[in-house]
Structure 1
Amino acid sequence: MTSTSELNELIEITRDGQRFYQHACEEVKDVELQHLFRDMAQAKTQVIQALSVKLAADHKKVSQGGTMVGKLRELYMDTKTKLGGDPRVAYVDQLEEVEDRILHAFEDALEGAEPDVRALLATELPRLRACHSRMQQLKHSLH
């Protein structure tokens, strides 16, 4: 994969997470979770901006969409929460999986990346790992 398409794929996967956090924030009534979800969406926005700056600097087009997996996950959650159950637990479970997906995508991309892209990804990974850890801890505390 070229670094342009790889960076755009990472942007799309991260945007899925950003949008899902924003959606979850609107759906849950728990104020603490809303605050956390907003923080997590903002972290994703910062990662997207960092990757977009790299592409723009290289005069490459930045992807503006997300992925089909992201859209399906949101549709699944809307259906699941309408059928009952605790939406807090359901959203946290799904968001932790979103964090897994983002983190694994970045770690996989890091392995074969060109040096300048590798440096960029290495800079963003601590933020992504912190987000992943936060959601993992929250998931375990709710179960």
Structure 2
Amino acid sequence: MNQNMNQLNELIEITRDGQHFYQHALDEVKDVDLQHLFRDMAQAKTHIIQALSVKVAANQQQPAKGGTTAGKLREMYADTKAQLGDTDAVYIDQLDQTEERILAAFEDVLKTADPDVKALLAIELPKIRACHERIHTLNHSGRSNRD
């Protein structure tokens, strides 16, 4: 598998971490507005994963099917921390950190990618930035109480 397809598969895995985490958090929070937000964010991640997977498959490679260990550990950490405090605030904060990780990964790949991969990332990166901005703004708006 070439370098660009490896990088896209890593982005798929990291984005899937976010997708799974939003879906998980959706079941944990009671606030209906947060549930709607988390559902929207999970759906946005699904669309990005699909776009990246199509590119990998078009290069006769197998798109990544899972997430990362780091993503699963963050989810477990959030679950544990939520038992000790404000559940909504914990999930918002941890999802903000997940978005930071996803955005950084996309920006790193963009620096070294071939032109055709850069073109795909140029389409997907604004979506990543919008998701990041939504949760980051919520996290720092006073809605959640950071520890």
Bin the TM-score by the shorter chain.
Answer: over 0.9
C-alpha distance in structure 2 between counterparts of 1:68 and 1:7, whole Å: 17
State how many pairs are aligned.
Answer: 142
SS class of match (1:29): coil
Q: 1 CA distance for matches of 2:59 and 2:65?
A: 17
Partner of 2:63: 62
What is the rounded CA distance, in whole Å, between the counterparts of 2:35 and 2:41 in structure 1?
Answer: 10
**Which consecutive unaligned segments of at least 5 residues does structure 2 have?**
none
Aligned to 2:13: 12
Determine the structure 2 residue equivalent to 1:113.
113
**Residue 130 of structure 1: aligned partner:** 130
Q: Paired residue for 1:94?
A: 94
Aligned-partner Cα distance in 1 for 2:12–2:102: 10
Which amino acid in 1 is paired with 2:98?
V
Q: RMSD between aligned alpha carbons?
A: 0.9
Give the counterpart letter for 2:86 in structure 1. D
Distance 1:42 1:140 in 2: 23
Which consecutive unaligned segments of at least 5 residues does structure 1 have? none
Give the 3-state SS of the residue equivalent to 2:140 in structure 1: helix
**One-letter amino acid matched to 1:92:** I
Counterpart residue identity of residue 89, structure 1: A
TM-score, reference length from structure 2: 0.94
Percent identical pairs in the alignment equals 63
Task: Give the alignment's TM-score, normalised by structure 1.
Answer: 0.97
Taking the aligned partners of 1:39 and 1:15, their CA distance within structure 2 comes to 14
Runs of 4+ in structure 1 off by over 2 angstroms are: none
